[in-house]
Amino acid sequence: MKGYSSEENMGNLFCCVQVDQSTVAIRERFGKFVEVLEPGCHYLPWFLGHQVAGHLSLRLQQLDVRCETKTKDNVFVNVVASIQYRALANKADDAFYKLSNTRSQIQAYVFDVIRASVPKLNLDAAFEQKNEIAKAVEDELEKAMSAYGYEIVQTLIVDIEPDDHVKRAMNEINAAARMRVAANEKAEAEKILQIKRAEGEAESKYLSGLGIARQRQAIVDGLRDSVLGFSVNVPGTTSKDVMDMVLVTQYFDTMKEIGAASKSSAVFIPHGPGAVRDVASQIRDGLLQGSHQ
């Protein structure tokens, strides 16, 4: 860059030049490099052939490089690398004279490293090994750019972007896997509920059976005690007479309760008190068999 500003022209007129902070100037004499001018004011006898060939910034600069490549499983991705670099003050002449376009040079090295590294990895591995890819880019750039007077401060892989169709497919695969896990968990929960419900029903039936058995046993014991007590206290009566009387009494008590209910759902069929004899005969036979056993 050979152009000069009005301040530089004024400085050259009075044989002095000002160099701003974080910047160095390249001094030439009749087109040949002489020295690097540090920030400050410098005497520059232009009439003796001295001039400022240009300025070089020492500030930290950043270059974002977007590189398209494909992975080992043939998925095309856009890898975005962020390169932070700066010129070295002690090699300012190399940085000024050896490279005509620093950013293009860095971009070429980034392309070369990324397109050599990413195709060796599957898509998932590329996401997992972003730091390794960034380290490979940084090492290659550091080795190459140090010869040109530049320092690579840091290299970051800030993004890996697959194609939109690939991202949708990845999301669908993830969603399907999660739905499959949810379905398994739901089925397992329903299985546990059914097992617990069956166990509860079995326990309920078992306890209900025990209750019915105890109820029947209590009824039988009560009837037996009543028959035996009545036979002892009333001489001349048999167990059959006592059982008939007890059953007839219970029969009329039952009829009385049914008639007293305002909303009874009992269904009557043709019968008479004589039918009690058949019931008494069956109960008596059962008691006798139970006593015998």
Question: Residues 6 or more apart from 93 whose CB is under 8 A from it?
Answer: 26, 33, 36, 149
Pick the more confident residue, 201 or 163: 201
pTM (2 decimals)? Answer: 0.53
pLDDT above 70 as % of the chain? 77
Strand positions, DSSP E, 38-115? 40-43, 50-57, 61-70, 76-87
Tokens 């004589």, residue? 274
Instruction: Set out the domains of the chain in order of their start, with CATH numbers.
Output: 16-57 (no CATH), 61-162 (3.30.479.30), 196-290 (no CATH)
pLDDT tens per residue, range 245-277: 777 777 777 777 777 776 666 555 555 555 556
pLDDT tens per residue, range 98-119: 888 889 989 999 999 999 999 9
Pick the more confident residue, 290 or 203: 203
pLDDT for position 1? 40
Question: Residues 6 or more apart from 63 whose CB is under 8 A from it?
Answer: 82, 83, 85, 103, 106, 107
Instruction: Please state, in angstroms and rounded to a whole number, the distance separating the CA atoms of residues 22 and 215.
Output: 104
H or E segment and range at residue 237: none
Residue 251 in tokens: 């029969």
pLDDT for position 79? 92
Instruction: Please state, in angstroms and rounded to a whole number, the distance separating the CA atoms of residues 281 and 60.
Output: 114
Average pLDDT, stretch 94-101?
87
Residue 2 has pLDDT above 50, yes or no: no
Instruction: Please state, in angstroms and rounded to a whole number, the distance separating the CA atoms of residues 25 and 8.
Output: 12
pLDDT for position 60? 92
Specify whether the CB–CB gap between 132 and 155 falls below 8 A: no
